[in-house]
A and B are shown apart, each in its own frame.
Chain A
Amino acid sequence: MLKLFESIGEYVLLMQKVFSRPEKMAIYRRRIMHEMEALGLNSIGLTAIISVFIGCAVTLQMAITLESPFIPKFMIGYATREVMILEFSSTVVALILAGKVGSNIASEIGTMRITEQIDALEIMGVNSASYLILPKIVATVFFFPFLAIFSMLIGISGGYGIAELTGIMNPVEYIDGLRYCFYPDEITYALTKMVFFAFFITSISAYCGYYAKGNSLEVGKASTKAVVISSIVIMICNLVLTQIIRT
């Protein structure tokens, strides 16, 4: 328990260092663009593949589950939309990104720590925490909500595609379902969650890497730890935000 509080304290102090005034904004802007490409753009493929298949699977599952003369067919489109927007494209995509981006960040920074690259930055007089972590946080907080929107579109399109291909329902009814009881606030809710998830995935993974010690084995452990802690925090955060925003 004491170790947990110690780690939280260490994390808060690191964040304090991360959000101190940057040395030169121009350098940071360049690094943010680079990180957006590395952490955001490079995640589009994975997000697209997973979203389209989940969109298809959810539509099929709904079609099977809601097979009843008392339930109108358009409810399948409605349910797919709700699942994709409210939980999948924010929470589940965030969990997937915690695996991909989180382990990437932790192992990159961890390797820099054990090969003394972070010490080299410190010796130069660079605030290594801010230089390495801040651009990653800014990049993901800005880019991940776009990934969530992209995932919603791809997932819902996947559902439409499977409806068209298998003939389980009329695609027009599917579109009616997508339009049924639509509140734009749901999108805002999902994107707000994604902003928080992006911050936690990046900062926690960076923390795990930044304090890695020893050899490559420890970097591997830091990477695993980053994914596990980020995933737990995402689930807790999801619950808290849902309670705050939706009730």
Chain B
Amino acid sequence: MIKAQNIVKSFEGRTVLKDISVEFGTGQTNLIIGRSGSGKTVLLKSLVGLHEVDEGSIFYDDVCFSTLDFRARKAIRKHVGMIFQGGALLDASTVEENVKLPLDLFTEQSEEEKRERVNLCLKRVNMEHAHHLYPSELSGGMVKRAAIARAIVMNPRYLFCDEPNSGLDPQTSIVIDNLISDITKEYNITTIINTHDMNSVMEIGEKIVFIYEGEKWWEGSKDDILHADNRELADFVFASAMAKRAKAAVK
């Protein structure tokens, strides 16, 4: 479980997150949605500790993460996986080296054990034949899948995904979404996904938090979202004319 309590974050006098309190459950796919510039990436980066919050607290299970020092955070971070928008694979390393890096640095496993673990993770994301390819040789979908393999190689308890299907075609997006959702269930992870892709919301959104102008505006499930009585949320979810027609048809 990850919990944010009254968090506030400002940049150069501009408040980006305004007193947000939210709880993300274990074993479920939690989605943060909102328009571009609404503060959802800042919220995700604050939760993971890449931004320090100005006020409020962040809890990882019962541990108050926001008050920990670098060393104590490091211990927690070994249980954290993150998938970045662009994949963030190390350019100078092959897919195999990228996935193996956390094992090299933080485990005492033998080369054989590490190779087995890497193979297992790459197989899980259907990348078993891409061991020796460099990130520049991969397609967008393959980069995301390799990033997922790297994120799960240490058996994380918490998984953060920053727009995991941005720049992907709708079919590949669904494959990535389902992969993340399946891994969440399989390993009983607390997964938080930052997205503005409505397909993802409808496909895997077990808990959805809508951020509007830096505030938590609404929360619920994918079933609730269709019937939510909230104008800003409705404007965001049913932005296109086709979506509006679909909503009217459902009603």
| Residues on A facing B (Cβ under 8 Å) | 23-24, 27, 111-112, 115-117, 119-120, 122-126
Chain B hits for A117, CB < 8 A: 88-91
B48 at the interface (CB under 8 A from A): yes
**Contact of A124 with B86 at beta-carbon distance under 8 Å, contacts A111-B91, A117-B91, A119-B50 already known:** no
Chain B stretch 72-116: residues in CB contact (< 8 A) with chain A = 73-75, 77-78, 80-82, 84-86, 88-91, 101-102, 104-106
Chain A hits for B90, CB < 8 A: 112, 117, 120
User: Is the Cβ of B88 less than 8 Å from the Cβ of A124?
Assistant: no
Write the chain B residue with the least CB distance to A131.
B105
Considering only CB atoms and an 8 Å cut-off, how many residues of chain B contact the other chain? 24
Write the chain A residue with the least CB distance to B147.
A120
User: Is the Cβ of B106 less than 8 Å from the Cβ of A23?
Assistant: yes
Chain A hits for B86, CB < 8 A: 115-116
Q: Could you mark each residue 49-83 of chain B with 1 if its beta carbon is under 8 Å from any beta carbon of chain A, else 0?
A: 01000000000000000000000011101101110
- CB < 8 Å: which of A115, A116, A125 contacts B74? A125
**Contact of A120 with B82 at beta-carbon distance under 8 Å, contacts A111-B91, A125-B77 already known:** yes
Write the chain B residue with the least CB distance to A115.
B86
**Contact of A124 with B84 at beta-carbon distance under 8 Å, contacts A23-B106, A117-B89 already known:** no
B197 → chain A closest CB, angstroms: 19
Q: Bound complex: CA of A48 vs CA of B88, how far in Å? A: 37
Q: Bound complex: CA of A120 vs CA of B82, how far in Å? A: 7
A54 → chain B closest CB, angstroms: 33
Chain A hits for B104, CB < 8 A: 24, 27
Q: Bound complex: CA of A120 vs CA of B81, how far in Å? A: 9
**Contact of A123 with B85 at beta-carbon distance under 8 Å, contacts A24-B105, A27-B104 already known:** no
Chain A hits for B75, CB < 8 A: 125
Chain A facing B: main interface SS: helix
Chain B hits for A120, CB < 8 A: 82, 84, 88-90
Inter-chain contact total with CB atoms closer than 8 Å: 57
Q: Bound complex: CA of A151 vs CA of B104, how far in Å? A: 38
Chain A hits for B101, CB < 8 A: 124, 126
| Residues on B facing A (Cβ under 8 Å) | 48, 50, 73-75, 77-78, 80-82, 84-86, 88-91, 101-102, 104-106, 154, 160
Write 6 A-B pairs (CB below 8 A) sorted by A numbering. Answer: A24-B105, A111-B91, A116-B86, A120-B82, A122-B50, A123-B77
Q: Bound complex: CA of A117 vs CA of B91, how far in Å? A: 9
Q: Bound complex: CA of A7 vs CA of B160, how far in Å? A: 32
User: Is the Cβ of A119 less than 8 Å from the Cβ of B105?
Assistant: no
User: Is the Cβ of B78 less than 8 Å from the Cβ of A119?
Assistant: no
User: Is the Cβ of A125 less than 8 Å from the Cβ of B85?
Assistant: no
- CB < 8 Å: which of B74, B80, B88, B105 contacts A27? B105
Chain B hits for A111, CB < 8 A: 91
User: Is the Cβ of B89 less than 8 Å from the Cβ of A125?
Assistant: no
Q: Bound complex: CA of A24 vs CA of B50, how far in Å? A: 23
Write the chain A residue with the least CB distance to B80.
A123
Q: Bound complex: CA of A151 vs CA of B106, how far in Å? A: 42
A150 → chain B closest CB, angstroms: 26
User: Is the Cβ of A119 less than 8 Å from the Cβ of B102?
Assistant: no
Chain B hits for A116, CB < 8 A: 84-86, 88
Write the chain A residue with the least CB distance to B82.
A123
Chain B hits for A124, CB < 8 A: 77-78, 80, 101-102, 105-106, 154
Chain A hits for B50, CB < 8 A: 119, 122-123
Write the chain A residue with the least CB distance to B107.
A24
Q: Bound complex: CA of A111 vs CA of B86, how far in Å? A: 13
A133 → chain B closest CB, angstroms: 14
Chain A hits for B84, CB < 8 A: 116, 119-120
**Contact of A23 with B88 at beta-carbon distance under 8 Å, contacts A119-B50, A125-B77 already known:** no
Q: Bound complex: CA of A23 vs CA of B108, how far in Å? A: 12
Which 6 pairs from chain A and chain B are nearest by CB? A125-B77, A120-B88, A116-B88, A125-B74, A123-B82, A116-B84
Chain A hits for B154, CB < 8 A: 124
Write the chain A residue with the least CB distance to B160.
A123
Q: Bound complex: CA of A123 vs CA of B77, how far in Å? A: 6
Q: Bound complex: CA of A23 vs CA of B106, how far in Å? A: 8
Write the chain A residue with the least CB distance to B79.
A125
Q: Bound complex: CA of A184 vs CA of B104, how far in Å? A: 45
User: Is the Cβ of A115 less than 8 Å from the Cβ of B77?
Assistant: no
B191 → chain A closest CB, angstroms: 15
User: Is the Cβ of B80 less than 8 Å from the Cβ of A23?
Assistant: no
Q: Bound complex: CA of A120 vs CA of B73, how far in Å? A: 15
